[in-house]
Amino acid sequence: MKRASRIAPHPFDEAIALEPRAASADTPSVDSPVEFEGRTHPDYANMVGPFGGITAAQALQAVLQHPQRLGDPVSFTVNFAAGLTDGPFRVEARPVRTNRSTQHWMLTLWQTGADGIDAVMLTATAVTAVRRSTWNAVDEPMPAVSSPNEVLSAPVIDRVRWVGRYDMRLVAGALPLHWDDAEADSLTQMWLRDNPPRPLDYTSLTALADAFFPRIWRRRARMTPIGTVSMTVYYHAGPEELAAVGEDHVLGQARSQSFFNGFFDQSAQLWSEHGHLLATSHQIVYYKE
């Protein structure tokens, strides 16, 4: 009898896998914290530490796995206090207030240093909710761009491993050909999806919201050191809408509005191939002269 072959888990699912800590294994009471253990994943390594989008997704996964969760994500704000080092971490998810249809969350992620002292690496807040059917409208329509099948995939940058975990198809706003301080606009549009393809969900949508190269590189054509300080994602799709996307590409658009005294912002939108606005995102990024 032929043995069925085992399908290896997707690298993204390996990266966001969390296990409840022993002290949190019992079913908690309402509004009680639960701690999870996870670890960084080599496939999502950045130049220094892990890709911020995967760290945000790991933190959101703690909310999604919490046994007392009510509803689905509506908003998620993550503050990167310090860069993670390769290795284990633990994250606590606490529902601080539960109403009839909304729930408010606080999260903290720690790593233990070489000195044995726990250090806060990330804090976050989230809102989940049970949505109901209402009147809907979108004032940010998807731009008219070429379909993903008409755009070539970008070459993989070997020294930044997380980029290889995404199929990126640039439509407009490439990185500068020459790093010569020649200023340009900060707009980038590109089709995105996991590589290999993976059905879209809230965690992968969160990571995609951070998958744009730094706006200051595009705007200024200078290889400037940067680090995201805070990122918020607003979700405009429910589980059914995400399931309809499946393994399709999503169109991502990102631009900055201000570069001022060491910090710049980034505003981003993510649409399905059929034009459904799935998420919007805003972040503030530190840059160094």
Residue 32 is predicted with a pLDDT of 75
Q: What's the rounded Cα separation, in Å, for the pair 29 and 204?
A: 29
Residue 5 is predicted with a pLDDT of 52
Q: What's the rounded Cα separation, in Å, for the pair 108 and 118?
A: 12
pLDDT in tens, the chain (289 residues): 445 455 789 999 999 999 998 655 555 565 678 999 999 999 999 988 999 999 999 999 999 999 999 999 999 999 999 999 999 999 999 999 999 999 999 999 999 988 889 999 999 999 999 999 999 999 999 999 999 999 999 887 767 899 999 999 999 999 999 999 999 999 999 999 999 999 999 999 999 999 999 999 999 999 999 999 999 999 999 999 999 999 999 999 999 999 999 999 999 999 999 999 999 999 999 999 8
Please report the domains of the chain, with CATH numbers, ordered by start residue.
11-129 (2.40.160.210), 161-287 (2.40.160.210)
Q: CA 23, 12, 163, 251 torsion: positive or negative?
A: negative
CB 40 within 8 A of CB 50: yes
Residue 47 is predicted with a pLDDT of 87
Residue 2 is predicted with a pLDDT of 47
Residue 1 is predicted with a pLDDT of 44
Q: CA 164, 256, 121, 24 torsion: positive or negative?
A: negative
Residue 226 is predicted with a pLDDT of 95
With 0-12 / 13-18 / 19 or more C-beta atoms within 10 angstroms meaning exposed / middle / buried, residue 183 is exposed
